[in-house]
Amino acid sequence: MPEPQTRTVVVLAAGEGKRMKSSLPKVLHPLLGRTLVGHVLNAADPLGAARTLVVVGHGADQVRAHLAGIAPEATAVHQAEQLGTGHAVRIALEAAPEVTGTVVVLNGDVPLLRPETVGELVAAHESEGAAATVLAAQVPDPTGLGRIVRDAAGRLEQIVEQRDATAAQLALREINAGIYAFDAARLRDVLGKLSTDNDQGEEYLTDVFKMLVSAGEPVGVHLAADHSETLGCNDRVELAALRRLLRDRVNERWMRAGVSLLDPETTWIDVTVALDRDAVVDQNTQLRGGSVIGSGAVVGPDVTLIDTVVGPGATVLRSHAVGAEVGPGASVGPYAYLRPDARLAERAKVGTFVEVKNSEIGAGSKVPHLTYVGDATIGEQSNIGAASVFVNYDGVRKHRTVIGSHARTGADNMFVAPVEVGDGAYTAAGSVIIENVPAGAMGVARARQRNIEGWVLKRRAGTAAAEAAERAQGASAGTSSASEGEPIHGTAESVGGRPGAGDTATE
């Protein structure tokens, strides 16, 4: 067994990515939950590198800030001018003179690379004691990529860039993936001798190979089993293609792990999302960031969840959620909007055209229709009437509303925070609740209704309404005896501000 090597990872991320036509540096473009450079760093993570160096240049401040968030242990090395991949590695190693052992170099724009593949490349390199080993792949279309040129015996001779290649070399379909393992000492030796005698006038890292070969050093080629892992990203068309490939890879993994995806082609799951067995994801659904879907939960169709936790057995239908928590067996939608810190306890319900922000909705409580719940705490088994607003903002500050357990609030209520409705309390439909409602009380806060008899006949004579009123009056005069004694909803008992039977009836 060879000695275990100290490993250093160098990620090349200084290029502009001209063809992206973006003010965002290429390596910061997002791809299903990570940036391009985030994917590359993730692929290198299991190497257990003692140091990680990221060469930055274009958009260096943005890239540094991103690295501070996702890989605080990495060191950014600044390459002021992009003089080539060889130059980039040279300045990285100049910034880290103590580095020995294995140096693993990865292009920052190869996001589909699997950690296993990098691991195999490095293991092969170290076990063979090679000076340099390149990850290669057989691809259907090698256009634009460096070609692996082998001698008659099949040994690597050199890597030739597309623009410097001969016609015969252009026909080769074995390409350089831009991922390499080097012996640090021998790499340093030759990096200092790179020329810029090529079509781009750049220091090519790939030239290291022919220099090592002519010095008689052992170099190797490690062939990737799945060539799609080696695909780079140079424009947004390629980025979209990579996104589809990664989607399929992620979806296949979840289906094999026991998750039902009813329409994988329209299901986009970030690599950072977790799903439990027997979760069901219906079509047109995006699961992003740190979202977690529990066992037996049904999500979709037409759902976007960002950093949202959905408990076992919950359902989320045609809705959008960010930073929310949906408890076990809870139900959301259709057409709900859950904003950060919306927390639904088990079996809670948030229904149609309901927006919830920074609020707890207790176990079994329901907010079924057309309601805004902001900065509220709702206890257990309560029902909030349709078309209510938790009025949380006084124009300067936000305030909380507290609704107890087993409360029944009427339709079309305004809860002007700070305000509390006690356990078991009711409120009447159409109320503007500005004072606390004690436990068990009925809160009524609305203008008394007054009916002006005959108003339409007097003020709107000759209209269809007046004619209809006349007909109705004639009819009721004729049949009055038949309806005598029938309970008529909404008359004497409820007119005038006293709560009636229909006041809270929007379950």
Partner that binds at residue 176, options Ca ion, ligand UD1, none, CB closer than 5 to 8 Å by kind: ligand UD1
CB 265 within 8 A of CB 249: no
Partner that binds at residue 350, options Ca ion, ligand UD1, none, CB closer than 5 to 8 Å by kind: none
Q: Which amino acid is at 274?
A: A
Q: Is 331 in the site for ligand UD1 (CB under 6 A)?
A: no
Nearest residue (CB) to ligand UD1, 77 versus 437: 77
Name the helix (H) or strand (E) containing 150: strand 147-150
Give the three-state DSSP class for 13: strand
Nearest residue (CB) to Ca ion, 232 versus 499: 232
Q: Per the structure block, which two tokens stand in for 477?
A: 């005069």
Q: Is 251 in the site for ligand UD1 (CB under 6 A)?
A: no
Cα-based angle 82, 77, 66 (whole degrees, multiple of 5): 100
Name the helix (H) or strand (E) containing 464: helix 464-483
Partner that binds at residue 205, options Ca ion, ligand UD1, none, CB closer than 5 to 8 Å by kind: ligand UD1
Q: Is 319 in the site for ligand UD1 (CB under 6 A)?
A: no
Q: Is 83 in the site for ligand UD1 (CB under 6 A)?
A: yes
CB 305 within 8 A of CB 316: yes
Q: Which of 180, 182, 204, 337 binds ligand UD1 (CB under 6 A)?
A: 204
Closest-approach residue to ligand UD1 (CB): 146
**Residue 464, φ and ψ in degrees, nearest 5:** -60, -35
Q: Is 107 in the site for ligand UD1 (CB under 6 A)?
A: yes
CA–CA dist 345, 362 (Å, integer): 5
Partner that binds at residue 186, options ligand UD1, Ca ion, none, CB closer than 5 to 8 Å by kind: none
Q: In the block, which residue shows the tokens 């089993």?
A: 225
Active site residues: 369
Binding mask 14-53 for ligand UD1 (x = CB under 6 A): xx--------------------------------------
Q: Per the structure block, which two tokens stand in for 500?
A: 């009636």
Nearest residue (CB) to Ca ion, 233 versus 419: 233
Nearest residue (CB) to ligand UD1, 204 versus 372: 204
Q: Is 158 in the site for ligand UD1 (CB under 6 A)?
A: no
- The strand pair at 267-269 and 174-183 is best described as unpaired
CB of 35 to ligand UD1, least distance (A): 12
Q: Is 12 in the site for ligand UD1 (CB under 6 A)?
A: yes
CB 504 within 8 A of CB 426: yes
Q: Which amino acid is at 100?
A: T
CB of 24 to ligand UD1, least distance (A): 13
Binding mask 166-185 for ligand UD1 (x = CB under 6 A): ---------xxxx-------
CA–CA dist 148, 310 (Å, integer): 48
Q: Quote the crossing angle between the two packed helices 184-191 and 85-95, to the nearest 10°.
A: 120
Nearest residue (CB) to ligand UD1, 194 versus 305: 194
CB 53 within 8 A of CB 11: yes
Partner that binds at residue 15, options Ca ion, ligand UD1, none, CB closer than 5 to 8 Å by kind: ligand UD1
Binding mask 292-311 for ligand UD1 (x = CB under 6 A): --------------------
Q: In the block, which residue shows the tokens 């074995």?
A: 174
Q: Is 161 in the site for ligand UD1 (CB under 6 A)?
A: yes
Q: Is 362 in the site for ligand UD1 (CB under 6 A)?
A: no
Nearest residue (CB) to Ca ion, 231 versus 298: 231
CB 262 within 8 A of CB 303: no
Q: List residues binding Ca ion (CB under 5 A).
A: 232
Q: Is 74 in the site for ligand UD1 (CB under 6 A)?
A: no
Q: Is 232 in the site for ligand UD1 (CB under 6 A)?
A: yes
Q: Is 95 exposed, middle or buried (0-12, 13-18, 19+ CB in 10 A)?
A: middle
Q: Which amino acid is at 137?
A: A
CB 410 within 8 A of CB 426: yes
In terms of Cα–Cα distance, which of 392, 249, 294, 364 is closest to 305? Answer: 294
Q: Is 111 in the site for ligand UD1 (CB under 6 A)?
A: no
Nearest residue (CB) to Ca ion, 110 versus 428: 110
Q: Is 188 in the site for ligand UD1 (CB under 6 A)?
A: no
CB of 109 to ligand UD1, least distance (A): 4
Q: Is 113 in the site for ligand UD1 (CB under 6 A)?
A: no
Q: Is 217 exposed, middle or buried (0-12, 13-18, 19+ CB in 10 A)?
A: middle
Count CA within 13 A, CB hemisphere, residue 352.
4
* From 81-89, 270-278, 318-326, 332-340, span contacting ligand UD1 (CB under 6 A): 81-89
Q: Is 242 in the site for ligand UD1 (CB under 6 A)?
A: no
DSSP 94-113: HH-TT--SEEEEEETT-TT-
Nearest residue (CB) to ligand UD1, 70 versus 475: 70
- Residue ranges binding ligand UD1 (CB under 6 A): 12-15, 55, 79, 82-85, 87-88, 107-110, 145-146, 159, 161, 175-178, 204-206, 232
